[in-house]
Amino acid sequence: MLPLALTLLGTAVALALLCPHLLTKGRWQLFHPRAALTIWFGSFGLGATAALFGFALGVVAIESVRHANPHTPGVAVTEAIWVAAGISGLAAAFVFLCAGSLQSLHPDLHSQAIAYARDEHIGFTLVRFHSDMPEAYAVPGRRPEIFVSSAMGQLLTAPQLQAVLAHEFAHLRHRHGLAMRIAQLNALFLPGTRIGRALERATRLQIELAADDAAARQVGAVHLANALTVLATATQDVGMTLRAQRLTQKRWPAAQRRRLPQGLRAAPQLR
């Protein structure tokens, strides 16, 4: 039983160390961000499960040996396993209790926003606020919110605004806040290493690209690409230009096959 426990724990460590390389190496993730995130989520879940069972089997194996031979000095080992299990439990609690926050993507913006309108939609609340900067961001929680600035409403056309809303709604619908939390947790297990920081940057990019893809399928890649191009010009953000160019290099469903989420169908004109 102990060899099996060690094998499971070794598998968990290997997944924690090797999976970040999968997400940060090469260019395939740029055109398949959803697949990359799915693989990583699956690997993280598999590693967490392996670690849990490994800890449990380790405790059972050592306790069995101690009961069979009371003079076996296994107390320190057992305590070490319990401490490791406790740390893993706290880490898991950190991920799932804090998964509702996207503050790492949009730090403290929503705390500074002064709303002038709030519209309830299926799945989220649309919050419109005054700002000279064209901004839009999602804030998950028990009642998710999408914030859109007045400058954004004045800068973009109605179809472009709808594409931006679809992008932000994708962040909420696909729980991208959880992806960022897991990336941050994974980086904690790799302190001071380049791969930990690279994983967090790669995750941030992948969730943006995945949200772009979701919005392009629902609203149309042309509208989102045009919105990104306009915003790139207004904010001097080269990254948005590259994202717009990426959208033109992929094939998308025909207009008749697009399915806009119900919560976005009644989105008002933001003007």
Residues 49 and 116 placed together within one structural domain of the fold:
no
Domain that holds residue 202: 109-265
Confidence at residue 231, expressed as pLDDT on a 0 to 100 scale:
95
Q: What pLDDT, on the 0 to 100 scale, is given for residue 79?
A: 53
What is the model's pTM?
Answer: 0.73
Q: What is the pLDDT of residue 101?
A: 44
Question: Could you tell me if residue 103 is inside a domain?
Answer: no
Query: For the chain, how many structural domains are there in total?
Result: 2
Question: Could you say which of 49, 67, 97 is where a domain stops?
Answer: 97
Structure tokens at 83: 């401490």
Nearest to 162 by CA among 85, 110, 226: 226
Q: Is residue 93 part of a domain?
A: yes
Q: What is the pLDDT along the chain (271 residues), one digit of tens a residue?
A: 667 766 776 776 676 666 666 666 666 777 777 777 777 677 767 777 777 777 677 667 666 766 666 555 555 555 555 555 565 565 555 555 554 444 434 545 554 567 888 998 888 999 999 999 999 999 888 889 999 999 998 999 999 999 999 999 999 988 888 788 777 776 666 655 666 677 778 888 889 999 999 999 999 999 999 999 999 999 999 999 999 999 998 888 777 777 777 777 765 555 5
Q: Is residue 61 part of a domain?
A: yes
The closest alpha carbon to 85, from 120, 113, 58, belongs to 58
* Residue 38 pLDDT: 76
Note the pLDDT of residue 254: 78
Same domain, 125 and 79: no
Asked whether residue 209 falls in the same domain as residue 260, the answer is: yes
User: Do 133 and 57 share a structural domain?
Assistant: no
Task: Please tell me whether residues 132 and 183 are part of one structural domain.
Answer: yes
Token readout for 167 is 């992008």
- 50 and 131 both lie in a single domain: no
At residue 22, the pLDDT reads 66
Phi/psi of residue 229, nearest 5 degrees: -65, -45
pLDDT at 102: 43
Q: Is residue 270, in this structure, part of any structural domain at all? A: no
Residue 102 within any structural domain of the chain:
no
CA distance 102 to 35: 21
**Same domain, yes or no: 240 and 146:** yes
